[in-house]
Amino acid sequence: MSYENIIVEVKDNVGLITLNRPQALNALCAALITDIGGALDQFENDDNIRAIVITGSERAFAAGADIKEMADYDYMDVYKNDFITKGWTRVASCRKPVIAAVAGFALGGGCEMAMMCDIILAADTAKFGQPEITIGTIPGAGGTQRLTRAVGKSKAMEMCLTGRMMDAEEAERSGLVARVVPADSLLDEALKLAGKIASFSAPVSMKVKESVSKSYEMTLTEGLMFERREFHSTFALDDRAEGMKAFAEKRKPDFKHR
Ligand code: HXC
């Protein structure tokens, strides 16, 4: 498939999506969102792909939804089409692990898209923010919800109410990102991390993702039960048998991803 606004590559067992609208700092126009959806469909249908990386440019992961595209929308346009649920939520609904590798600006919808991913790896140049208030609107793709869960109420309120950007160091300190790496090694580190995940059993990593994600949706009691049942279900997998057998035999497991 060919895409206009992204570059799609396969690196061993990892699918790589590079946002590619440099003239607009990767602003997330509708066509770009459709492209991402297509690439994720392609990767999810490919058994060879076991982890996915989404990245941008040195200057910007994404500077938000495309403001120029949104400028002429009226209430009925966004309400009737349920802007932004179509397409945007494709990232959050991906069942394979997704890493956001963020350098430069991750603002508004860009920050929200990074937060839809499972792990955020930040370059030391990364800047996160929800500046929607400065253009007369509010976050619409999870900024008030996922940011609050990640960094707590006070900091999320401050960021959403003032548009202040958070640098990479602060983002790591407050739990928004997993790790900060030098900008020139961001992609290598992201691919290494994705490669590590891809080296394990695919159904098991999907179960980890489902289980951790459920912790946002459920009470502790329900979440613990969900986790326990998922744990039990791994005993139906060949890979669970192989993993434990390989440990006992002091050799590397040979996972078949089933
Ligand atoms: C459309 C954008 C854009 C955006 C940047 N550009 N951000 N176009 N939508 N979100 C364009 C600029 O218009 C400019 O185009 C080019 O990219 C380079 O940007 P500059 O502003 O010249 O760069 P710089 O001075 O370095 O400033 C960088 C910046 C600034 C701080 C990131 O561009 C900025 O504030 N952007 C908007 C950030 C924002 O408000 N995001 C939230 C959007 S609302 P030209 O043609 O002039 O060269 C949102 C809501 C999501 O995301 C809700 C769910 C969908």
CB within 8 Å of 151: residues ≥ 6 apart: 159, 174, 175, 176
In CATH, what number does 6-198 get? 3.90.226.10
pLDDT band at residue 255 using 50, 70 and 90 as cut-offs? very high
For the Cβ of 105 lying below 6 angstroms from any atom of ligand 1, the answer is yes
Q: What is the pLDDT of residue 85?
A: 72
Catalytic residues: 65, 109, 112, 132
Q: What is the mean pLDDT of the chain?
A: 97
Instruction: Assess contact for 154 and 59: CB atoms under 8 A.
Output: no
Q: Report the pLDDT value the prediction gives residue 128, as an integer from 0 to 100.
A: 99
Which residue CA neighbors atom 11 of ligand 1 most closely? 24
Residue 86 clears pLDDT 80, i.e. is over it: no
| pLDDT at residue 200 in the model | 98
Identify the band that residue 26 occupies on the pLDDT scale cut at 50, 70 and 90: very high
Could you tell me if 202 and 71 are in contact, meaning their C-beta atoms sit under 8 angstroms apart?
no
Please tell me the distance between residue 137's alpha carbon and the centre of ligand 1 in angstroms.
15
Dist. CA 8 → ligand 1 center (Å): 23
Q: d(Cα 99, Cα 21) in Å, to the nearest integer? A: 20
pLDDT tens column, 137-196: 999 999 999 999 999 999 999 999 999 999 999 999 999 999 999 999 999 999 999 999
What residues contact residue 208 under an 8 Å CB cut-off, 6+ apart? 97
Structural domain boundaries in the chain:
6-198, 202-248
Does the beta carbon of 132 lie inside 6 Å of ligand 1? yes
pLDDT at 1: 80
What confidence category does residue 84 fall into, taking pLDDT thresholds of 50, 70 and 90?
confident
Nearest CA to ligand 1 atom 13: 24
Check residue 142 and give its pLDDT: 96
pLDDT, position 190: 98
Fold annotation for 202-248: Lyase 2-enoyl-coa Hydratase; Chain  A, domain 2 (1.10.12)
